[in-house]
Amino acid sequence: MKSFYKENLFSEKDFNLIKDHVASHIGNSKDFNYTKIYGRYWNTINFPEEINQLLIKTSRDGFGVDNLEIVYTQCVKYQIVDGVIPSLGNHVDNFYATHTLNIIVDSTLNWPLTVEGLDFPSITNSAVFLKGDEDFHSRPDYPSSNENDYLVAIFVNLAPEDSEIIKKTKMFRSLPKETQDVIRLKMTPNDVNLY
Query: Tell me: the pLDDT tens digits for 158-184?
Result: 988 886 766 666 666 666 767 656 666
Query: Is the predicted pLDDT of residue 75 greater than 90, yes or no?
Result: yes
Mean pLDDT on 116-128: 97
What is the CA angle 78-84-87, rounded to 5?
50
Query: Tell me: the pLDDT tens digits for 21-60?
Result: 999 999 999 888 899 988 999 998 999 999 999 999 999 9
Q: What is the pTM of this model?
A: 0.87
List the domains of the chain with CATH numbers: 4-186 (2.60.120.620)
Residue type (1 letter), 132: G
Residue 195 banded pLDDT, cuts 50, 70, 90: very low
Query: Is the predicted pLDDT of residue 126 greater than 70, yes or no?
Result: yes
For position 163, what pLDDT does the model report? 66
